[in-house]
Amino acid sequence: MLPNLILIGFMGCGKSSVGRRLAALTGHRFVDTDEMVVQSEGQAISEIFAAKGEAYFRDAEERTLGNLVGVCGIVLSTGGGAILRESNRALLKKIGIVAWLDKDPDLLFERASRSGKRPLLQTGDPRASFDELLNSRLPLYKEAADIRLDVGAMSIEEVAQALLDKALRHHHML
Ligand code: S3P
């Protein structure tokens, strides 16, 4: 059976849409750590950040990942900062094949800033905050990833197919 697939990458790289498509392609169940945190906390992500702070959110995110170890048959989409803690990077490896959706910074910023729902970009200079966050995280995505795909301007369908292909090859090489 195909192992679990985990999508990591910066805000706006398309983890949720690609994850849903991958789940449909593989028959796996789609799971999203942000959605699980929203459910367990009973609050939107932006409300959690505003009321309780980022560290509280990160603890909830880590608990959510911990609860997924041992669960089979899932495609897991993670929040862009899920790779920040070393403990989380170890949990991701235990859960399944970790796939990094990499994308050109300008395209990422355009998508990430569009929704207005991302607390880490609600600053006086969203582009500067974005650049700083992205640069500090790139080495961590690289470290956490088993496979990487430069998604460029590919469609959701193309990304899902290409990732599945790479994941299968990676699985057979294990
Ligand atoms: C975050 C990304 C968000 C969400 C939270 C923090 C981050 O998820 O987990 O706002 O630190 O990059 P998306 O990557 O799905 O936007």
- CA of 10, closest atom in ligand 1: 14
* CA 116 from centroid of its chain's CA atoms: 18
Say yes or no to pLDDT of 174 above 80.
Answer: no
List, for residues 28-85, the tens digit of each pLDDT value: 999 999 999 999 999 999 999 999 999 999 999 999 999 999 999 999 999 999 999 9
Q: Tell me, using a 6 A CB cutoff, whether residue 14 lines ligand 1.
A: no
Say yes or no to pLDDT of 127 above 90.
Answer: yes
d(C-alpha 145, C-alpha 119), whole Å: 25
Beta bridge partners of 6: 76, 98
Mean pLDDT, the chain, rounded, equals: 96
Query: Which residues have a Cβ under 8 Å from the Cβ of 104 and sit 6 or more positions away?
Result: 152
* % of the chain exceeding 70 in pLDDT: 100
pLDDT band of residue 114 (cuts 50, 70, 90) is confident
Say yes or no to pLDDT of 1 above 90.
Answer: no
Cα(1) to ligand 1 centroid in Å equals 30
> Could you tell which of 6, 109, 120 is best to mutate to test the pocket of ligand 1, judged by most ligand atoms within 8 Å of the CB?
120
Q: How far is CA 7 from CA 18, 38, 123, in A?
A: 9, 19, 26
d(C-alpha 88, C-alpha 25), whole Å: 27
pLDDT band of residue 117 (cuts 50, 70, 90) is confident
Which phi and psi (to 5°) does residue 17 adopt?
A: -65, -40
Q: Tell me, using a 6 A CB cutoff, whether residue 151 lines ligand 1.
A: no
Cα(148) to ligand 1 centroid in Å equals 19
List, for residues 139-153, the tens digit of each pLDDT value: 999 999 999 999 998
CB 3 within 8 A of CB 71: no
Instruction: Give the Cβ contact number of residue 138 at 10 Å.
Output: 14
Supply the pLDDT for residue 78: 98
Vertex 103 angle, CA 33 and 6, to 5°: 30
- CA of 16, closest atom in ligand 1: 15
Domains of the chain (ranges, CATH numbers): 5-173 (3.40.50.300)
